[in-house]
Amino acid sequence: MGSIRRLLTPFSYLRIEREDKIKDELIIPTILTLLGLSCLWLLSGKIPIFSEKGLISFIVNYLQIVSGFYIASLAAVATFDKDSMDKPMPGLPTILPRVKRGRDADETLSRRRFLCFLFGYLSLLSLILYFGGSALILIAPTLKTMLSESSIIILKWSTITIYLFVTFNLLVTTLLGLYYMTDRIHRKEAVFIAPPKSDTNPAPSNESDDDE
């Protein structure tokens, strides 16, 4: 179990508590999945899904390109030389729940830790989608001859629903990672401004353009 837990560590990203988590990881991918399924249903028979030139094959070809990008981004984030990368993220805390020796030991993540989990998750998920999609393309013709027509319809639409949802989750998370890489990690740090000594009721302020 220890080995499996280590191999699946990138999936710890899913346990991270952060602002807009449900919207980014569930609501938006669900909406996109429903739109995709609607298009496939309306164009039923006109868009191949499991063939070598079908929808799954198109996604697999895309993943073949971007999986290397995710791994390269992970390496870049891990070695990026900027002090702010190792400080806690501004705004609402981004937390990774942990239990150590039976006690809660939640970790407040820095930008580096958060982005490492994010691109590690993308790297592993892209590999799973790549090999899973390739397997679907290979076994689809065989399953078509073994199962009844009603079973094929149920299996087809349940499989494509799950595959599309995970693919759109990957896409939305990729856009989130690009947002951080192109903008957030390059913004100025918050600057603490000390109140005037003559002020009898000091009110510290934290000026920043951060809005994590």
User: Is the distance from CB of 133 to CB of 56 less than 8 angstroms?
Assistant: yes
Helices marked H in the chain: 2-7, 21-22, 28-42, 55-79, 111-146, 149-182
pLDDT tens track of the chain, all 212 residues?
A: 678 888 889 899 999 998 889 999 999 999 999 999 999 999 877 888 888 889 999 999 999 889 889 999 899 888 877 777 777 777 777 898 887 766 677 888 888 899 999 999 999 999 999 999 999 999 998 988 888 888 988 999 999 999 999 999 999 999 999 888 887 666 665 443 445 555 555 555 444 444 44
Q: What is the pTM of this model?
A: 0.81
